[in-house]
Structure 1
């Protein structure tokens, strides 16, 4: 359930306390005490006006914060509930109350890491200059939500197939460093220092050449993503999920602009603190860059110009302007895209093989094949 929601009438994203304070100010009365019920007329207005920040569902209800009667410490944060339900692809649909989707980015004033603070400063400057605002940020989220709603696929991948394919690709990977002319035969095993492991790797590479080509042509390298794909697979088996490949062009543009900013904008450079960093993992930067591109019709040069206007501003900007929720629409893009590719692998690539086999068994296979006079 979201901690913030969007008020259409006010064109603002607000948390529960902020919204109740606005109602109190509007009706010229003191702020509601925690034990004081929310007036019925306020509830009716909220129900009609406030939207989920991710899927724009209406019918919001407020769930107020609770505190320990003994210590007075907060037990549960206030949040918005949508009894009518969220869209099936909504980031909040399967989450516990108050839990935030991994793809949403809060540009909050309490941001602790340097990257979040640097991006928040850019957001505040952009809003101060009139180049960004909450309504436009909401429009971007709506655009991406509609994209998500238009494309989906069912998760049907067998976990055993996934693990086996990942193991084959990982085991065969070192062969790219071997000479292409090399043919493994039993005679080579007598060479001092020649390892059976090399024979096994070449055997796999030759035997599964079409499978490995299928993956490489689609730029899928599974090893860095195995744990994440496994988690997505276990959590979404048989479910219809968003097909991220519909955003391939936008993803590429966002990555390029994020990389440009990380290389040329000193506050971001300083925050990252390394000569090389995977900007795809920098959620605040990807969220901010996606917004710039959305506002620039996905034109990289226009977005770079918009960034320059914001980054070159030398005046002060109210840091409270950054209390908005950003969206990194490409969170887990590579993992989801790889999962989709895995489901498209022709069944003949794996149906004849024992999916429980791993390097130990493949070494035995290679040794037996060579002993029988085979070569590969």
Structure 2
């Protein structure tokens, strides 16, 4: 559902109201009547003129306003990775479209007013949101790959993560064949210690994540589901967006804490910094501030201190939370890195058995 399009004729991004006005349809009637009054020739011209504001696909048709949706454009097709592409064949990561104009909850009312203020003060605009979308679209295109992470790689990754505690307890002592002469020597334990010492780098990669990912069953299950559903499909490596993501999380928390955006649960405040609309607003402020948190906060303060909006409906624009499911995709990126560095495969039992045989051979040759 594209609220705005790029008009080749007028050389700018516009919504349906603006397009109809530029085409001379300025009568004081509702939007649906204006759309219905378009001639077939005008509709054909619009179809040839307008482009998707993200992927620049052609062929936009105007869709009438309904009870649940405002008048918008629908395109025959969108390019892969476009946030408007809802095709079942496009299994890539999508941002979460967010309606800044809704006022169904406490946080949306607050953000809606801030967006309206920001637009009237010319700090933010629909054009800026469109440019941010293009930025994320181009990042996806530039850093794409075919999903090649297997479920075996997923299990291997979590197995290596579990070895982290053991690395702190085992001695970093190289195996000596004479060790086998000790009365309680255990070949299985020796092989496991050998494996851990030989794979410390892999274990560190699995556990070294600059993002604070929750090591939960929920994250594991989500990761597994996405890997299964996207096998062989084009996706993109989210590690290229790690800094924007981390800064968006920080700014979202700052906004929620300092603007009292919270709900009450069992008598205690729960801050809504993970709300899609708060994240979308934080991402927009950061994008127009070159992802600099300090600059984004200054823009936030300027918006908050500005006068009440003359027209609250100026905040009726569609924003984007570009980091929807980001933690899951960051997890997949890390699994992929570990898998590429696992030269001996993902079968721990086979590797332990091979090590045991190697150690026994060393023992035999040194008896």
Separation (CA, whole Å) in 2 of partners of 1:316 and 1:35: 29
Q: Return the match for 2:153 from 150, 161, 167.
A: 161
Distance 1:168 1:128 in 2: 53
- Is 1:217 matched up with 2:217? no
1:51 paired residue number: 51
The equivalent residue for 1:342 is: 335
Q: Is the 8 A contact 2:117 2:306 kept in 1?
A: yes
TM-superposed CA distance for 1:338, in Å, is: 1.7
| Mapping of residues 230-241 of structure 1, within 5 Å | 230-241=224-235
Matches within 5 A, 1:1-376: 2=1, 4-6=3-5, 8=7, 9=10, 11-14=13-16, 26=25, 28=27, 39-64=39-64, 80-83=73-76, 85-95=77-87, 103-109=96-102, 111-166=103-158, 169=161, 209-219=200-210, 221=213, 223-224=215-216, 225-266=219-260, 268-269=261-262, 279=273, 281-346=274-339, 349=342, 354=347
CA distance in 1: counterparts of 2:250 and 2:60, whole angstroms: 38
* CA-CA distance at 1:107 after TM superposition: 1.1
Report the 3-state secondary structure (helix = DSSP H, G, I; strand = E; otherwise coil) of the residue aligned with 2:122.
coil
Write the distance in 2 (CA, Å) between the matches of 1:212 and 1:277: 35
Unaligned runs of 5+ in 2: 89-93, 172-182, 185-191, 354-367
**1:230 CA displacement:** 2.2
Relative to the length of structure 2, the TM-score reads: 0.71
Is 2:95–2:322's contact at 8 Å kept on the other side of the alignment?
Answer: no
Instruction: Please say if residues 4 and 53 of structure 2, whose CA atoms lie closer than 8 Å, have aligned partners that are also in contact.
Output: yes
Q: Deviations over 1:6-38 (max 9, x none)?
A: 354474345xxx589758971648665699685
Q: Distance in 2 between matches of 1:104 and 1:4?
A: 11
How many pairs does the alignment contain?
A: 334
1:154 offset after TM fit, Å? 1.5
Taking the aligned partners of 2:316 and 2:264, their CA distance within structure 1 comes to: 20
Cα deviations across residues 187-238 of structure 1 (Å, max 9, x unaligned)?
A: 9xxxxxxxxxxxxx99997897554322112347574322222232223211
2 CA distance for matches of 1:352 and 1:160?
Answer: 9
Query: What's the C-alpha RMSD, in Å, of the aligned pairs?
Result: 4.6
Contact kept? 2:4, 2:15, Cα under 8 Å: yes
Q: 1:326 deviation in Å?
A: 0.7
Q: Structure 1, residues 66-95: CA drift from partner, whole Å, max 9, x if none? A: 9xxxxxx99x99763322x21211123244
> Structure 1: which 5+ residue stretches go unaligned?
67-72, 188-200, 358-364, 366-376
The more displaced of 220-229 and 127-136 is 220-229
Aligned to 1:360: none
Q: TM-score normalised to the size of structure 1?
A: 0.69
